[in-house]
Amino acid sequence: MSVLTDNFSLYGKGLWGTVQLTLLAGALALAVGVLIAGFRVSPVKALRVFGTVWVTVLRNTPLTLLFFAVLLGLPRFGVVLPFMVFAVLALGAYTSAFICEAVRAGINTVPLGQGEAARSLGMTFGQTLSLVVLPQAARSVIPPIGSTLIALAKNSAIAGSFSVTELLGTYKPLNELGYGIVWTFVWIAVGYLIVTLSIAGIFGLLERRFGVAR
């Protein structure tokens, strides 16, 4: 029990690391994911191909491998950044592929006539997507995006193996200090629960907010 009270600041730092990774990588994944979903439904073939390749590669690469690729690969090209930034890039890119597919599935639930009406009024592809299609896709996209971000929060634990401060990684110093492994992990699990339940709560609210329209 005392493992928590004695090491509150260590836990706190770990939890904050996980929250930061989740927020930053989540924001990156949402922005890139929606953009790539736009690519995948665009009238321009090159963009569609790029989108398909992006999703296929990232979704089918083990996340750990992606971390190695970013952490070892980018410095070869002279890109040297803090580990935290590398971790956000790897997590964000990986998660963007799943966000993209959730958004694309949502776009497909919007009747074709909506986009046709928008285009017949002279809207460009971007206007059609952002003003007409995506707002109507939002409702069906919110739950799977919530699940994807919850997965992201848990996936962020991998960053701990790459010298980034995050929640799971706190077990190492605690273990060295001689605390029991069971309680150490129980409190770590509670930390993850706080993060994931918060995400679930926020997305539940969003779903209610957007669920009433129409």
Partner 1 sequence: MPADPLIVLSGVNKHFGQLHVLKDIELTVGRGEVVVVIGPSGSGKSTLCRAINRLEPVQAGTITVDGQPLPAEGRALARLRADVGMVFQSFNLFAHRTVLDNVMLAPLKVRRRGKAEAERKARELLDRVGLLAHAGKLPAQLSGGQQQRVAIARALAMDPKAMLFDEPTSALDPEMINEVLEVMQQLAEEGMTMVVVTHEMGFARSAADRVVFMADGQIIEDRVPEDFFTDPRTDRARDFLSKILHH
User: In angstroms, what is the minimal distance from the CB of 210 to partner 1?
Assistant: 9
The two tokens of residue 206 are: 């969003």
Stretch that binds partner 1, among 28-36, 65-73, 75-83, 115-123 (CB under 8 A): 115-123
Contact residue for partner 1 among 13, 48, 59, 119 (CB under 8 A): 119
First to last CA, the chain: 51
Binding mask 123-162 for partner 1 (x = CB under 8 A): xxx-x---xx--xx--------------------------
Distance in angstroms (rounded) separating the CA atoms of residues 14 and 188: 9
User: In angstroms, what is the minimal distance from the CB of 100 to partner 1?
Assistant: 22
Contact residue for partner 1 among 5, 9, 60, 113 (CB under 8 A): 113
Closest CA to 141 of 116, 109, 94, 95: 109
Closest CA to 38 of 124, 110, 130: 130
Distance in angstroms (rounded) separating the CA atoms of residues 10 and 194: 16
The two tokens of residue 187 are: 């409190």
The two tokens of residue 38 are: 């736009």
Distance in angstroms (rounded) separating the CA atoms of residues 121 and 117: 6
User: In angstroms, what is the minimal distance from the CB of 125 to partner 1?
Assistant: 8
Nearer to partner 1, 121 or 190 (CB): 121
At residue 18's C-alpha, the angle toward residues 21 and 97, to 5°, is 45
Stretch that binds partner 1, among 51-59, 111-119, 142-150, 193-201 (CB under 8 A): 111-119
Question: Scanning residues 44 to 73, which ones bind partner 1 (CB under 8 A)?
Answer: 44
Cβ–Cβ < 8 Å for 147, 29: no
Stretch that binds partner 1, among 17-25, 27-35, 99-107, 112-120 (CB under 8 A): 112-120
Nearer to partner 1, 6 or 116 (CB): 116
Closest CA to 50 of 38, 62, 65, 60: 38
User: In angstroms, what is the minimal distance from the CB of 195 to partner 1?
Assistant: 31
Q: Is 111 one of the binding residues for partner 1 (CB under 8 A)? A: yes
CA 185 to chain centre: 24
Residues of the shown chain interacting with partner 1 in the complex, contacts defined by CB under 8 A: 43-44, 111, 113-114, 116-125, 127, 131-132, 135-136, 213-214
